[in-house]
Structure 1
Amino acid sequence: MRRPFLTWLCSLAVLVAGAAACAPASERVLVFSKTAGFRHDSIPTAVATLQRLAGEAGLAADHSEDAGDFNATHLARYRVVVFTSTTGDVLDATQQRALEEFVRRGGGFVGVHSAADTEYDWPWYGRLAGAYFDNHPPGLQSTRVQPERRGRAVGASWPIRDELYNYLSNPREQVQVVATIDERRYDGGRMGADHPITWCHAFDGGRSWYTGLGHDTAVYADPNFLAQLRRGLRYSAGQSDEC
């Protein structure tokens, strides 16, 4: 019996573009990078990297800067929404409600870098992201990232050179911290000995994962950072309980 044409076409697409090419609607990621404030030069690289990592996880990734995509019908196509270096007020009230309902239906959220510098007047978003950006020291600085699990350091720390955020509050009591940075190794840290930089949590029916790293384009070639992003995508998509 001959296979239907669409099945054949999908099989051909898999051979050409990989398994994510024919991912069903529920296996898709929306990478959103609209900015209403500062715009990072690293956004194109961040988007391409996230699309590649999503593909490795069997998730097809679409990129958009159209806030109109935040409606119930469109978001129903996705398992995860990624805010990558968004800034400022990027969604109106109706679009905000659509994202809230997406998460409440079990959708995943990933925030990268200035996703924490977004939507300060929307308290629900602040709780979703885990913390809001406060400030950062000038320029790029070097420190070390210490992975942790369940409140304890695990494995060796690794070096990073990036823009290092301070947050308006320490999110530790509300989230599971995935990694901290060492303020003793650079100037301008204002959070003290406990400076979370990456975290995750179950939130309002869905899952959220955030990293403050990702300002500098070069960071997207760092294997340690890429491993973080992989875990974040898998966690937020419900593929793993480890973040």
Structure 2
Amino acid sequence: MSRLRSLRPLLGLGAALALIAPAGPAGSAVAQPAHHRAEFKVLVFSKTGAYRHTSIPTAVQAIKDLGAAHGFAVDATEDDSVFTPANLAHYRAVVFALTSGNVLTDPEKAAFEGYIHAGGGYAGIHSASDTEFDWPFYGQVVGAYFKSHPHGQFQARVIVEDHDNPSTAHLPAVWTRTDEWYNFRTNPRNTVHVLASVDETSYDAGPDRMGDHPVTWCQDVQGGRSWYTAMGHGDESYADPAFRGMLLGGIRVAAGAAEADCSPSDEPGDGSGDDSQ
């Protein structure tokens, strides 16, 4: 059953903590009052501790453009010191945009855990699953950790399994696109709601092929909401209206601004439409 998780605990926390929010270092994203016309506010975080994608600036700008066009405010930073309880309480979702490696200190991790427990949202793009491998909480929130990928980008068929979710409703049943296709350490199906999977018969997935191969999903997790896509490697993804539409819907789901069924998927969908009962 579709549902919109209540944000009242998070909003209450925000009202209280906003009164004691620190000024923060120069160039940080410590929140200021959002524009009165913004529906909600998101924090885009793109710090890297390992591989760095050259498409990060393009991805960040795409999210800013989506916010400007669709009525939500965006702060973008690579300054991890903004991960404090007081600052995070200003945001309805935190977007890990092409992050990698270890990017947060222990106190910052604790702040993020508290944020999610209070009803906050998370959206992850591509190498967000190649981030914080030694932090089990983050592994639960992202849904699965990166394992490997065939070298290069390849055209492949993406099977859209849920046409009711705001992030995938506009997509065709079979979406042919070029990207870098991640294999994961574990298959997240049965713990997340799979929105799309990649057809491994349409490209060579390499020795770590998964068979059933989810690439985009959402979940209700640890009191908050999570949406992730493994797609989005190159600049060209962020110029693709279909991908941008998926990203917009994913951010809205993570922010609790759009209703979505994020209950676990039992079996692979066939791309024919609603797979939620």
Q: TM-score, normalised by structure 2?
A: 0.76
The reply on whether 1:67 has 2:85 as its aligned counterpart is no
**Does structure 2 conserve the Cα–Cα contact (< 8 Å) formed by 1:231 and 1:242?**
no
Match of 2:70 in 1: 57
> Percent of aligned pairs with the same residue?
47
Return the alpha-carbon distance in structure 2 between the equivalents of residues 197 and 219 of structure 1.
15
Match of 1:212 in 2: 230
1:26 to partner: Cα distance? 8.1
The reply on whether 1:22 has 2:28 as its aligned counterpart is no
**Does structure 2 conserve the Cα–Cα contact (< 8 Å) formed by 1:49 and 1:220?**
yes
Return the alpha-carbon distance in structure 2 between the equivalents of residues 159 and 197 of structure 1.
13
Q: How far does the alpha carbon of each residue in 1:205-242 deviate from its partner, in whole angstroms, 9 at most, with x for none?
A: 11000000011110111122112111101101111123
**Does structure 1 conserve the Cα–Cα contact (< 8 Å) formed by 2:123 and 2:251?**
yes
Q: How far does the alpha carbon of each residue in 1:11-56 deviate from its partner, in whole angstroms, 9 at most, with x for none?
A: xxxxxxxxxx714898211000000111000000000111122333
Task: Tell me the C-alpha RMSD between the 2 structures.
Answer: 2.2
The reply on whether 1:41 has 2:41 as its aligned counterpart is no
Return the alpha-carbon distance in structure 2 between the equivalents of residues 135 and 54 of structure 1.
32
Match of 1:197 in 2: 215
Return the alpha-carbon distance in structure 2 between the equivalents of residues 57 and 94 of structure 1.
33
Residue aligned with 2:189, SS: helix
Q: How does 1:123-138 map to 2 (within 5 A)?
A: 123-138=136-151
Return the alpha-carbon distance in structure 2 between the equivalents of residues 158 and 23 of structure 1.
37
**Does structure 1 conserve the Cα–Cα contact (< 8 Å) formed by 2:38 and 2:71?**
no
Could you list the runs of 5+ residues in structure 1 that have no partner in the other structure? 1-20
Residue aligned with 2:161, SS: strand
Return the alpha-carbon distance in structure 1 between the equivalents of residues 238 and 103 of structure 2.
24
Residue aligned with 1:102, SS: helix
Match of 1:176 in 2: 193
Higher helix share: 1
Determine which of 112, 131, 137 is the counterpart of 1:99.
112
Return the alpha-carbon distance in structure 2 between the equivalents of residues 192 and 68 of structure 1.
37
Determine which of 246, 254, 257 is the counterpart of 1:239.
257
Q: Greater relative contact order: 1 or 2 (C-alpha under 8 angstroms, separation 6 or more)?
A: 2
**Does structure 2 conserve the Cα–Cα contact (< 8 Å) formed by 1:219 and 1:225?**
yes
Q: TM-score, normalised by structure 1?
A: 0.86
The count of corresponding residues between Structure 1 and Structure 2 is 223
